[in-house]
Amino acid sequence: MATIKIKQIGSPIRRPEGQRKILIGLGLNKMNKIVERQDTPEVRGAVAKIPHLAQIVD
């Protein structure tokens, strides 16, 4: 299955608990960290919920 790279671009400070949990679920915890995840609708949906905190990089 294909993979995508996700980069954290924002800080979870002063963000709702739900958005923090999404970042942790994706494996992100530090600014500019890049993780590689399988390209599934669930992962893309999680990134779509927090476009101000994470983005998909090429």
Write out the residue range of the structural domain in which residue 50 sits: 3-57
The pLDDT value recorded for residue 14 is: 97
- Output phi, psi for 56, to 5 deg: -90, 130
Total number of domains constituting the chain:
1
pTM for this model (two decimals): 0.92
User: Which tokens is 35 given?
Assistant: 């993780």
- Output phi, psi for 24, to 5 deg: -65, -40
Angle of the 17-26 helix axis to the 41-49 helix axis, nearest 10: 140
Q: What is the CATH classification number for the domain harbouring 11?
A: 3.30.1390.20
Q: What tens-digit pLDDT sequence spans the chain (58 residues)?
A: 799 999 999 999 999 999 999 999 999 999 999 999 999 999 999 999 999 999 999 8
User: Which residues fall within 8 angstroms of residue 53, CB to CB, at 6 or more apart?
Assistant: 8, 9, 10, 11, 12, 15, 19, 22, 23
